[in-house]
Amino acid sequence: THVPFSNVYGTVRGFVRGVDLWVGNHVADAPKDTRLDGVVFTSNLFYYSVQDALQRGAVMSSFVSAAIAALVLLVMTRTVVVAFMALVTIIAIVASEVGLLVSWGWTLGPIETIIVSVAVGMSVDFTSHLCHAFIHADPHKLAKEMLGMTSSPPGPGRHLSPSTVRALRARYAADVMGLSLSAGAVSTGSAGAVMLMASTLFFQQFGTFMALCMLLSWLFAFFFLLPLLATFGPGTDSDIMQKWCCQRKRRSCGLCDGDGDAYG
């Protein structure tokens, strides 16, 4: 053909699809006695075959990792809304990472596939810690400490509003986990930055990914996930899984009296 040879996956994929369509149309229109439907066509696009397998494997591993992360977050937080927000945050982090790496000229290869495969696992760390701190915060105790409210136990007509509960929980998560998560981001990101000085391509690329992953994970966790939780997170004890847990353990989660019944 007149199409120049290329190792770029997108370019070769368009060429292969065009050839497959052209061959398929001619085979379908050919007389039956030619028996072209039993002919096998081969090519020398071996690297494209590897790239195609890597691309499908990277996408599949990302979906499987995201599904497992969502399941773990659901079990850990016992709240569908929080688990969903965490999953949205993880997807946003991975999408931003891949988009930036592609804009920097990265193409699909074995190294890039490995990096994409572990992206979800490295992006879930900060998100899961903040969600855990948010959902396990005691809003009434926080109201006494942060807002100077009365120390008497909540009774009928004295429960906190959902917006106040969400704000207190988000503030608690930021206060408790902010320093440790920031230190973790700096230490891991610094390790990735040191790898940029390596002479091996794999270490250079993986170091770039580590530093970028820590930066984006920290930014999305504190400036995307926490505002989401503070705005749309659970503010009452209406979550069935949370009430069920309180009823089993016979203790209060901060929003109910230990029997799954709301204060007030």
Question: Which distant-in-sequence residues (6+ apart) come within 8 Å of 195 by Cβ?
Answer: 203, 204, 206, 207, 210
**What's the whole-number mean pLDDT along residues 180-192?**
95
Residue 46: per-residue pLDDT: 73
CA distance linking residue 244 with residue 249, whole number of Å: 9
Lowest mean pLDDT among 114-123, 146-155, 161-170, 193-202: 146-155
Q: What tens digit of pLDDT does each residue of 87-128 get?
A: 999 999 999 999 999 899 887 778 888 888 889 989 999 999
Is-contact 198 50, C-beta < 8 A? no
CATH architecture, domain defined by 55-143+164-240: Up-down Bundle (1.20)
Place of tokens 């939780």: 229
Q: What tens digit of pLDDT does each residue of 196-243 get?
A: 999 998 999 999 999 999 999 999 999 999 999 999 988 765 443 555
Q: What tens digit of pLDDT does each residue of 131-144 get?
A: 999 988 887 787 77
Residue 90: per-residue pLDDT: 95
Residue-range domain boundaries for the chain: 1-43, 55-143+164-240
Q: Is pLDDT above 60 for 150?
A: no
Is-contact 225 85, C-beta < 8 A? yes
Is-contact 221 181, C-beta < 8 A? yes
